[in-house]
Amino acid sequence: MTTTLTLTRPDDWHLHFRDGDQLRGTVPATAQVFRRAIVMPNLTPPITTVALAQSYRQRILAQAPDQSLFEPLMVLYLTDATTRQQIIDAAASGIIYGAKLYPAGATTNSDSGVSDPAGIYPLYEELEKQNIPLLLHGEVTESEIDIFDREKVFIDRYLADIRNRFPALRIVFEHVTTADGVQFVQSHDRLTAATVTPQHLMMNRNDLLAGGIRPHNYCLPVLKRREHQLAIQQAVLSGDPRFFLGTDSAPHAQNKKEAACGCAGCYSAPAALPLYATFFEQHQALDRLESFASFFGPDFYQLPRNSDTVTLIRENWTIPSHAEVGGLTMVPWQAGVELPWRMA
Ligand code: DOR
Ligand code: ZN
C-alpha cells in the first residue's frame, strides 16, 4: 500500500483570504501547500481597481511564510460601475488573473455586485479582448426562485447567452454544485471550466440538514441533492481537464457560523489537500489527483505548471477542532474527522 504520495505542487483556483489580522492565519494555511491561489475580491470594500488589488496583494505577501514562493493571483470585482478602461488597466497590471461576477446579493459581500448580468456585455467583450477569464458566481438572486434552483436558472437565463456571444472568452463556473452546471461545462470546449470544492465533492444536502442542522457545512451555492453530487464526482473522476481544484475556503468566526442566521462558507484550507486525496482514494482514483490539483488549473489559466512537489503521508490525522485566525476562532471544515492522509 502506498505510504507516501508526492505530486507536483498544487494551486488553489478559488480562495477567500479575508483581510487584516485574519491574513496571519489564512495565508500560511494555504501557502504551506499551494504555490498560487486565485484570491477572491469580496472584501469590504471590494477589490474593484488595480490599485486596491496591488495593496491587498502586498498585505497577503507580507504574511506568506519565508521561502514559500507563494503567489497570490488577484481578481477584479465587477460592479455596475466597472468600466472597460478598468479592465484594460487590469490586463496591463500583470497581477490580475480574473474578473469576478457576483450577482448583487448572491453571497457574502456581494452587495456591490452586478445588478443585471445581462447588462454588462461591453465588459465581457473587453475581458474577451484582453484575455482575462470571467469567474462566475453562477446563481440568480430573486427571492421567489428556490435556492436549490438558482444555479440552473442562472445558466438558462444568462450563461448560455454569454457563452454564445463571446466564444473566445475564458469562463470559470466557480464552485459548480449541480448536474446542470456540470453538463453545461461538458458541452463546451476547453474555454469553459469549473472549480470544484471539497464540500461539493464529498457532501450533499443531507449532510447539511438531516439529523440536525450542520452550520459548518453551509456554503453558497448551497449543497444540492445526491444526484448532483454524483454528477460532480463523475466529472472529476473522469479526468476531464475542464474541472479543477478550487477550495472556496471561506472562513467565518465560529460564533458567526453557529448562529440563528449563520454565515455561508467552509474553512477548508487547513486540510484541503488531504481532503481531496481522501476523496480520490475512496474512489480508487488516487492517480487522478495530481492532474486535478496541479495540472488542469494552470493549463486553463495559461500559466506554467509548478516545478516543485508536495508530499502526503499515509497516516491517520484528525482535522483540528479549532483554528485561531487573527484573534478569531474558526472551526475548520470537517473538524474532528480523521483522514487517512496528512501533509508531510
Ligand atoms: O459560501 C460562500 N462563502 N460562498 C461564497 O460565494 C462566498 C463565501 C464567503 O466569502 O464567505
Ligand atoms: Zn468563493
pLDDT digits (tens, 9 = 90+) for 45-94: 999 999 999 999 999 999 999 888 999 999 999 999 999 999 999 999 99
Could you give the CA distance from residue 185 to residue 138 in angstroms, rounded to a whole number? 12
Ligand 1 atom closest to 106 (CA): 6
Answer whether residue 299 shows pLDDT above 90.
yes
Q: What is the residue whose three cell numbers read 496528512?
A: 342
Q: Are strands 36-39 and 243-245 parallel, antiparallel or unpaired?
A: unpaired
Could you give the CA distance from residue 118 to residue 68 in angstroms, rounded to a whole number? 41
- CA of 100 relative to ligand 2 center, distance in Å: 10
- CA of 219 relative to ligand 2 center, distance in Å: 9
Helices (H), ranges, 94-222: 121-130, 150-154, 160-165, 179-186, 198-202, 206-209
Mean pLDDT of the chain: 97
Answer whether residue 145 shows pLDDT above 80.
yes
| β-pair partners for 39 | 15, 74
Q: Would you say the CB of residue 16 lies under 6 angstroms from ligand 1?
A: yes
Residues with CB under 5 A from ligand 2 (ion): 248
Q: Can 248 be counted among the known catalytic residues?
A: yes
Best CA proximity match to 11, nearest among 185, 247, 343: 247
pLDDT, tens digit, for every residue of 194-251? 999 999 999 999 999 999 999 999 999 999 999 999 999 999 999 999 999 999 999 9
Closest C-alpha residue for ligand 1 atom 3: 265
Ligand 1 atom closest to 221 (CA): 4
List the domains of the chain with CATH numbers. 4-343 (3.20.20.140)
pLDDT, tens digit, for every residue of 152-190? 999 999 999 999 999 999 999 999 999 999 999 999 999
Q: In a mutational test of the pocket of ligand 1, which residue from 17, 108, 199 has the highest number of ligand atoms less than 8 Å from its CB? A: 108
